Structure 1
Amino acid sequence: MASSLTTFTDEARIALDTLSGRAVGLFSPSLRLGVTGLSRAGKTVFISALVHNLIHGGRLPLFEAQKSGRIARAFLEEQPDDAVPRFQYEDHVAA
């Protein structure tokens, strides 16, 4: 009985977290980017350049979302998942 109550409580908490996350997403949508490729293919350079141009208003003539004005602003946030390491954007730009 106690384990089923714990499971129910855990499931309710997960449902509320999901619901609140989606509600926040309506007002402040975000995009998570994943890039895959072979070793030394330029993934780090690509991500660093893209993020830098989005944050600093660079010209991205082939990026339709930027060209059409659908991106109001871009900024860095903390990594919400502690199990996933943060991309060290600042270190890569400095290098």
Structure 2
Amino acid sequence: MWCVVMFDLPTNTKDQRRAASLFRNKLLDAGYSMIQFSVYAKYSPTLANNRQTVQFVKKELPDYGEVRILHITDRQWSMMQRFYGRTPKKTEQKPEELALF
């Protein structure tokens, strides 16, 4: 499963810019990767982990702006088409799992 967080946060004032930057940094600290500006994603092997992620995001929401959270399967993620200009690019793959002994 992939958890995708998309947001549109106001940046008209210094406080709003600070809040938007803090939100982005907290997503990065939580293991999200920037897919596009204001679109971040994180792979999680189970839906239960995604539920924890949603709780984290809800806790860190700024006071203003719109945030959407979307869960998609690996299959849906792999069917995504990605371009840079007119040049096709490979879609990000799920991270390799690390086994600890």
Question: What is the TM-score normalised by the length of structure 2?
Answer: 0.28
Q: Which has the higher strand share?
A: 2
Q: Which has the higher helix share?
A: 1
Indicate the structure whose relative CO is greater, using CA pairs within 8 Å and at least 6 residues apart.
2
Larger radius of gyration, structure 1 or 2? 1
Question: What is the TM-score normalised by the length of structure 1?
Answer: 0.29
